[in-house]
Structure 1
Amino acid sequence: MSKNLKIAILGFGNAARAFAKILDAERVNILVNYDTAIVTTGIVTGTHGALYNPCGLHLESITENYDKTGSFQSPINMTSMELCEKGEYDVLIEATPLNIKTGQPASDHIKTALRRGKHVITANKGPIAWYFKELKELAKENNCEFFYETTVMDGTPVFNLVNDTLKMCTVTSVDGILNTTTNYILEELEKGKDYNDIMTEGKKLGFIEADPAMDVEGYDAAAKLTALLNVLMDAGITPNDIDRTGIENITYDDIMKAKENNKIIKLICHGDKDSAYVRPTLVDKSDLTANIDGTSSMVQITTDYMGKLSIIEHNPDLVQTGYGIFIDLLRVVERI
């Protein structure tokens, strides 16, 4: 007889809905291969209400309706914390909007679930950047699984690669291009486009947020770098420990001067045991980082036994983000 695994979802934005669609598409395969039925008992949003049924919600129709209307049919009043504290679920999926400067309230949601002995998957990088050590210890104390693959580079298996296939390798440094928005802006500047025009066009295309400051000033890249260093190198740092410089002062002239010297400007992230920074950096055009274009991103991991490994994600969309959450759910299914 198959077992039921109940999940609760906090946040129902693009990433959560992409996950929901993959889950619905693979529901039968999960049942056949893992003898497990995934039951969604609750979904809570910040502005569109909530849905809750301990016996299970019909996720497919809910997702379809939300895509069409941007809302739930017959929502109830339930806060995220109420679901965390009182809801019936086995796995909490934390996909609420990011507060990059505090990691809250997502971190408190996760702590509450872990203290109840619930497994947690987060798509929110804030908790990993600000509270990773505490959350990791809390999960261990309560015999819970705690996964976070989607927090950096969408569904690209960065954390899973290291944790599952590079056993007993020590990561000595991390480098990369982790913010796709700034990568896009720098490329458009090189074409001679006006900065304000780039912003307007990028917002229309969905590449740039309504408020791009978190990207342009390097906060997003710093949070991702912090998450990588905390998980892969046990750094125990916060984004405040990153030496951060954004691209807001980079001009077309700067880019042309770099080009004259066969170089290109990229927002580079670097971390090792001695330092961690995010800053615009001149790189040779022959360097791998110079060829990370558009909305692509890359992380380079240097290890003691396997040397340097480069992982590139080419122009991702929401499917990759949803898959990152989904693969973490499968890891929970496999381990319990």
Structure 2
Amino acid sequence: MGEVILSIFGFGNVGRATAQVLLEKAGIFREKYGVNIKVVSISDTSGTVWLPEGIDLPEALLVKENFGKLSKWTNDYEVYNLSPREAVREIDADVVIDVTNDKNAWEWHRTALREGKGVVTSNKPPLAFHYEELIKEAEKRDLPYLFEATVMAGTPIVGLLRGNLRGDTIERIEAVLNATTTFILTEMERGMSFERALERAQKLGIAERDPSGDITGVDAGYKATILHCLAFRPITFNEAKVRGITEVTEGEIERAKARGKTVRLVARVEGGSVTVEPKEIPRDSPLAVESHENAAIIKTDLLGKLVISGAGAGLKETASGVIGDILKASLTLLKR
């Protein structure tokens, strides 16, 4: 039985969902993979709780649920005021888990790698802007740097492109990568205005309180940039051409319906080119998804057209991607 020590950054919805799965499936992971996973620190915006002997995850979840922040947790635990970079340096862990939205997290990802620690992340901007540097840093040190949950949540498109299609030449990827815009466009097809559809998405928890990253296409652009880095060569988000759904009118939706088509925010990824924009697509297209589903059509020289679809949002779904990467990282490190 091998032990792997984790340091978790971010204890919002995804962080708590990840902790819940680690708690519920600890026995399965020990039995199936021979891995005992121990969490020694958890950080949220209020501070860092750190106990080398291992944190009581049920209690951590209870404190966060009842009080909203870890700094309220005083029983047997000291709360440290550490920056992420300081925490990465000072806390003894094998793998750093980043489930934050910190756009500057690439700096402490790099620090973690330089400290000899693997990294698992669901955070998109570090990869959308610093993919090449981070991957080279990880490869130089032979450390896992894993990011399945950055694109399509737990639907394994990253693993597919990074590992399973090495013999294929990718020619093109077309994908619908943002569930919020899909929901809004679907509601508009049903006669709702853009404003009312967005409001409904926020009430249902599908859209954030600040939905600008989704509706302007930035979120899909981040994801499409990561796909380009995987399938072709490293670029940054600054090279992507992105247009969101804010200017899609009810008239455009109705005209598409009359032609037997639907409007979706479609990312097109080719060698040297990333575009994200609303497009009319046939109703029988694999990209004509609804609800929180994402889909991608990958065109390769050997397989031809490969379609992958599944949940692109949701707490359990995103936790699936994070947990899968934690296990991959753990098994990689234990083989040394």
Name the TM-score, length of structure 1 as normaliser.
0.93
Q: SS at the partner of 1:326?
A: helix
Q: 5+ unaligned residues in a row in structure 1: which ranges?
A: 99-103
User: How much has 1:67 moved relative to structure 2?
Assistant: 2.4
For residue 79 of structure 1, the aligned residue among 71, 79, 83 is: 83
Contact 1:44–1:79 (8 Å) recurs in 2: no
Q: Tell me whether 1:318 sits opposite 2:306 in the alignment.
A: no
Q: How many residues align?
A: 327
Report what 1:101 is aligned to: none
Report what 2:177 is aligned to: 178
Map 1:108-187 to 2 at 5 A.
108-187=107-186
User: How much has 1:78 moved relative to structure 2?
Assistant: 2.2
Residues of 2 paired with 1:190 and 1:200: CA distance? Answer: 16
Report what 1:258 is aligned to: 256
Residues of 2 paired with 1:139 and 1:191: CA distance? Answer: 47
- Superposed CA offset, 1:234-279 (max 9, x none): 2x21111111111111111111112222222111100111522001
Report what 1:308 is aligned to: 305
Contact 2:174–2:266 (8 Å) recurs in 1: yes
Q: SS at the partner of 1:334?
A: helix
Two-structure CA RMSD over aligned residues (Å): 1.5
Report what 1:89 is aligned to: 93
Report what 1:227 is aligned to: 226
- Superposed CA offset, 1:188-221 (max 9, x none): 1112212222222211100111111111111111
User: How much has 1:293 moved relative to structure 2?
Assistant: 0.8
User: How much has 1:314 moved relative to structure 2?
Assistant: 4.1
Q: SS at the partner of 1:269?
A: strand
For residue 287 of structure 1, the aligned residue among 285, 288, 310 is: 285
Report what 2:51 is aligned to: 53
Residues of 1 paired with 2:34 and 2:311: CA distance? Answer: 34
Report what 2:189 is aligned to: 190
Equivalent AA in structure 2 for residue 143 of structure 1: D
Contact 1:122–1:148 (8 Å) recurs in 2: yes
Contact 2:151–2:312 (8 Å) recurs in 1: no
Residues of 2 paired with 1:194 and 1:283: CA distance? Answer: 20
Equivalent AA in structure 2 for residue 320 of structure 1: E
Equivalent AA in structure 1 for residue 257 of structure 2: K
Residues of 2 paired with 1:34 and 1:297: CA distance? Answer: 30
User: How much has 1:148 moved relative to structure 2?
Assistant: 0.4
User: How much has 1:163 moved relative to structure 2?
Assistant: 3.1
Residues of 2 paired with 1:295 and 1:333: CA distance? Answer: 30
Residues of 2 paired with 1:284 and 1:4: CA distance? Answer: 50
Moved over 4 A (4+): none
Residues of 1 paired with 2:219 and 2:257: CA distance? Answer: 26
Q: Higher mean Cα deviation, 88-97 or 64-73?
A: 64-73
Residues of 2 paired with 1:310 and 1:326: CA distance? Answer: 24
Equivalent AA in structure 2 for residue 77 of structure 1: N
Equivalent AA in structure 2 for residue 137 of structure 1: K
Contact 1:132–1:231 (8 Å) recurs in 2: no
Residues of 2 paired with 1:227 and 1:335: CA distance? Answer: 23
Residues of 1 paired with 2:14 and 2:328: CA distance? Answer: 18
Residues of 1 paired with 2:25 and 2:285: CA distance? Answer: 40
